[in-house]
Structure 1
Amino acid sequence: MSNHTSLQKTLGVSLSISISLLWLLAVVTAGFIAQDKMNTVFDSALEETAQRILPLAATEILSRDSDSDSDSDSNAQRIQALEAHDEHLTYLVRKPSGELLLQSHDVDLNVFSALPRTGFYETATHRFYGANAVRGSIYIEVAEPLAHRHSAVWSVILALLTPLLLLIPLSLLAVWWLIKRSLRKVVELQQRVAARDAGDLSAVKVEQLPAEFAPLLSAVNHLLERLRRALEAERSFTANSAHELRTPLATALAKLQRLQRQSQDASVNLQAQDIETSLRTLSALSEKLLELAKAEGGSVLSASPNDLTPILQMIVKDYEYQAPHRLHLELPNNAVLSLLDPDAFAILVRNLIENALKHGADQHPIHISLSAQGRLRVINDGAVIPAEQLALLRQRFVRANSRSLGSGIGLAIVDAIASGAGLQLNLHSPATGQNAGFEVELNIIVTR
């Protein structure tokens, strides 16, 4: 499981959450501001109502018969409503002693204090405003339920929240779209780098890359160029060294063979044979170095698929002359098409067969098989190779059995070709389904 997080996902989630929280914070702030402004408006309405009713109430009360002997309750009048309605503002007109003179039709006397007061004041359920007239002989108090104010504030908040049900999703979609559009070149850079195989060291090209990532692309291309030059220098040195050795080695072998024919001294001929063996070993090593240089050169893939079955059959037939009746080949009935370069495949098969012949048990058969699915297997008999030693066989100049002849770079060449083509090379000891032996297995089918 990857521990890497997506830049698109991180930005999208972060910005989406931030925008949503900012929207909600704006609504809450607007709600508090609206509440403050609405309280000011409602207080102004309370005051205006009291100021308009008080002169009318004073005129009505003073016009009454002041000589009436009726009690205070009979003097109180309830203003009748013209139509039935919810009364959000109720009022009382009283004397300073609290004697009731006038009241609205839907007033609740229990919410008012025993004695009248002036100015704004508030209880747990109502907001009041009081004023007086006629030198403080008549008082009016207007009451408004706090629930009415709270209901109005919540109505405003809900009115602000309702558009968010549409705006927030649209904002989130816009954020994701903008992020995806802004980072499309970065995603293209990621895809181009991820799609490269190990042998592709050419410069990565992405047009109109964001300025923040341009230095990164430049550094990557600079590093690839330095790596390419270093590898080319190494391969060139290996190839040139091996190539330059071929001519003097061939010349030395020819002169040595002529010396053997001319010399009659048995000891000299014996020493000449040892020298010839060394020269032939050195010549074979130079050939292997040339193959290694080609394998590591990155040219292990062809432009179009090729049928590799005839190539395998031809190479096995060539080695039949060196090891008669030891090579057992199994081929599919149909063609096995692959983008693996035929020359590279031939080098790979030759090294696998030579490795099996040199390091496998003498006179025991070597099984070579290619399935219709492209699975190539080369199995030879022999002692089991320990796991820690098996892991080192891919390295150069490493041999499982130091007593066997060979340069120790055969499997290194095979591994270089497999890596360059993006193939998985598997080594098994003991061989699959056996108690001993050694097996090399890989799938040679390469597709774009």
Structure 2
Amino acid sequence: MRLPGSLQGRLALGLGLGLAVLWLATAFATATLLRSEMNEVFDSALEETAQRILPLAVLDILDRDEEGVSQRIASLRQHEEYFTYIVRDDLGRVLLRSHSADIAVFPPYEDVGFSQTATHRLYFDAALRGTITIAIAEPLAHRAEVARESLMTLALPLFVVIPLSLIGLLLIVRRSLAPVRDFSGTLSSRGARDLSPVGADSLPDEFLPVSDAVNQLLDRLRRTLEAERSFTANAAHELRTPVAAALAQTQRLMAETKDATAGARAGEIETALKRLNRLSEKLMQLARAEGGRLRRETASDLRPVLCLALSAFERTAGADRIVAEMPDSPVLSDFDPDAFAIMVRNLVENALRHGTGEAPVRVRLTREGLFSVRNDGPALAPETLTRLTARFERGQNTSADGSGLGLSIVQAIADGAQARFSLHSPATGRPDGFEARFQVPLAQEDS
């Protein structure tokens, strides 16, 4: 038998089974004691009946005109007779018997007292110096039936008490463990954005050490993540100034030098510095996505933010490379506009970089807040899709000039804003292509 996995189930099952075993043991002991007491009562009834009937039988026999005549006592009405008796003389002749008495049941008289056969319990008594005897018999089946009914009376409440007890125990245990469930629910709802201590005021004393250990772990984890984010943001910020200065000097060198070899080397340095500059920008975006508040108290229309973000690509990639579609009505959301713009830039930049040739990138924002970016290209394997949101991961086009951080930044934004982000290849309704979908959290409409 497999025990329940929950503490609540184990307590209820253990207490319920313990109560059932205790009740059964009590019922068995009570039935054993009751049977012994019942035997004493029945034996007393046998003896008392014999002592009442025998004097009357003696008077009746002495008043007869003829000796040795057997007489059966007639029944006044039909009834079930548990006690039967016979009266005999010293020669063993039956002088008197009850209407249901079976002579074969009664053994010969030996002495005053109790006797027992395989089927009956008997009591013998004598009068007139043993010349007249009486034997009263009671079927053992009658006693067994009475004992069985008494035992059933004791055991019957088990079928009601045990289920009710289990239900009561389950409710008590469930109510007692409610603070533990609340603590577990609060803890499971926490993420990297909220590592504050979990309240444990209502927890039972037995769980307080667990609560303290969990809160200490959350505190250590919070400090570790803050240190990592701080290092990433500071390092990326501090890199921007020297990288910008080095890039300016390199471009000046390229403009002033007449040596073709030196100019080519300067061009390579410029390319590397630009890549480093983009990497520092991506690192700052990642720190912003992982550490900042991505939801606001007020809602705003996301369409102007989308238009502003796409305008930068239209200047660099051309107006024909991006086909945008958005609703005429406002798309209101409490999503932080800066985070939304970062998400748009990364997804569109990824589509432009990895798209096929000059095929347009299709950007769409629906009234329901579903933002999608689709580009042409060969379909990606499912195992490739699953790892694209990891840091510094690239797709099949590893020669593309990218940092490998764009999709991981979008994933971090989705996690921080409690939004849904998914990748699909092939694109919806096509045999090839790549599509990224981001479900923007919409503002609740006033009822």
Q: Deviations over 1:198-220 (max 9, x none)?
A: 53322222322123322322222
Gapped runs of 5+ residues in structure 2?
none
Structure 1 position 347 matched with structure 2 position 342:
yes
2:39 is matched with which residue?
39
**Cα pair distance change 1:122/1:303, threshold 3 Å:** farther
| 2:4 and 2:10 in contact (8 A); partners too | no
Alignment partner for residue 142 of structure 2, among 124, 128, 148?
148
1:43-442 alignment to 2 at 5 Å?
43-55=43-55, 57-58=57-58, 61=61, 63-64=62-63, 70-73=66-69, 76-77=70-71, 87-104=81-98, 106-113=99-106, 115-118=108-111, 119-160=113-154, 167-260=161-254, 262-297=256-291, 299-324=293-318, 325-400=320-395, 401-442=397-438
Larger CA deviation: 322-331 vs 148-157: 148-157
Q: Deviations over 1:8-49 (max 9, x none)?
A: 344445544554454455434433332222112111221233
Gapped runs of 5+ residues in structure 1?
none
Larger CA deviation: 282-291 vs 356-365: 356-365
**Cα pair distance change 1:358/1:171, threshold 3 Å:** same
Give TM-score scaled by structure 1 length. 0.86
| 2:88 and 2:132 in contact (8 A); partners too | yes
| 2:124 and 2:135 in contact (8 A); partners too | yes
- RMSD between superposed Cα atoms in Å: 3.1
Percent of aligned pairs with the same amino acid = 46
Distance 1:133 1:180 in 2: 73
Distance 1:261 1:276 in 2: 12
Distance 1:326 1:4 in 2: 60
Larger CA deviation: 51-60 vs 435-444: 51-60
Q: Deviations over 1:206-246 (max 9, x none)?
A: 32212332232222222222222222221111111111111
| 1:337 and 1:445 in contact (8 A); partners too | no
| 2:200 and 2:208 in contact (8 A); partners too | no
Q: Quick one: which amino acid aligns to residue 238 of structure 2? A: E
Distance 2:299 2:174 in 1: 37
3-state DSSP class of the match of 2:328? Answer: coil
Q: Deviations over 1:154-211 (max 9, x none)?
A: 4434544565565445433322221121111112122212333453322222322123
Distance 1:349 1:219 in 2: 41
Q: Quick one: which amino acid aligns to residue 231 of structure 1? A: L
Larger CA deviation: 416-425 vs 229-238: 416-425
**Cα pair distance change 1:306/1:196, threshold 3 Å:** farther
Q: Deviations over 1:373-397 (max 9, x none)?
A: 2222111122333444333322222
**Cα pair distance change 1:326/1:180, threshold 3 Å:** same
Give TM-score scaled by structure 2 length. 0.86
| 1:366 and 1:378 in contact (8 A); partners too | yes
Distance 2:44 2:292 in 1: 87
Distance 2:44 2:314 in 1: 112
| 1:98 and 1:114 in contact (8 A); partners too | no
Q: Quick one: which amino acid aligns to residue 415 of structure 1? A: Q
**Cα pair distance change 1:447/1:145, threshold 3 Å:** farther
Distance 2:385 2:102 in 1: 101
**Cα pair distance change 1:381/1:82, threshold 3 Å:** closer
Larger CA deviation: 241-250 vs 300-309: 300-309
